[in-house]
Amino acid sequence: MNQISDWKSFLLPYELAVGGFIIKLEAIKKEYILKGERSPIEIVSGRVKALASILEKAERLNIQITKIPEEIFDIAGIRVTCKYIEDVYEVFELLCSRKDVEVFLIKDYIKNPKPSGYRSLHVIAKYNVETIEGQVPINIEFQIRTHAMHLWASAEHSLKYKYFRNIPEPVKERLVKVAEVAASLDEEMTKIKEAVEATEVEYSRGGEYSLDDLEIFPGNIKKW
């Protein structure tokens, strides 16, 4: 796999998996809306890790090139953004109930945040991609998080690249404090949701979406 043509062939199944799962999850969202129920899925996006990032990670973790398919789990990544923390776990249950994926690793950084303050639920699964040459087994990572978690993670990600993974300590300390604020926001949003449901003023028939939101086409696919 030292030739670019080989890498393109290697990455193709991951690209097919990401594109396919974005459409599948958008279809689940549409199904909720058409049934008049609130969807736990707000935004779906995905990406295939860039070759440079794959090689950098392999070098950083001392992974041999031949071991990359088995030992780097996030080459194919799907991100699902939700409104509420309970929605995160509902999406998780939806993934676990699917017959086309085999979940084998769960990293719950919501219940056990990273020291940096990072919060998200990572679900890693095995998935068989259908190609013209038959099935190709790959690993695929699902990141499920709330909007507040995503805002924090996006800011931290940008800072990591700005400082080449060496974020200054004062900035790290401020990030931890902001993570606490984001966690408080999620807790308050949950309380608001519970209050709304208690007074039976929850949205009905998916009224927060327009009919245009129900269209699912490859051109609508979001990348991160």
> Across the strands, what pairs with 45?
79, 222
**In the block, residue with structure tokens 């695929």:** 140
d(CA 67, CA 58): 9
Alpha helices in the chain (DSSP H): 4-34, 51-60, 68-71, 85-97, 147-162, 169-198
> Across the strands, what pairs with 126?
102, 139
Distances (CA, A) of 201 to 27, 190, 196, 205, 207: 26, 15, 6, 12, 12
Name the catalytic one among 141, 156, 180, 197: 141
CA 91 to mean position of chain CA atoms: 11
73, two tokens: 């789990």
Q: Does the annotation count 215 as an active-site position? A: no
Rg for the chain, CA atoms, rounded: 19
- Residue 116 backbone dihedrals phi, psi, to 5 degrees: -70, -20
Q: Contact at 8 Å (CB) between 194 and 8?
A: no
Residues annotated as part of the active site: 141
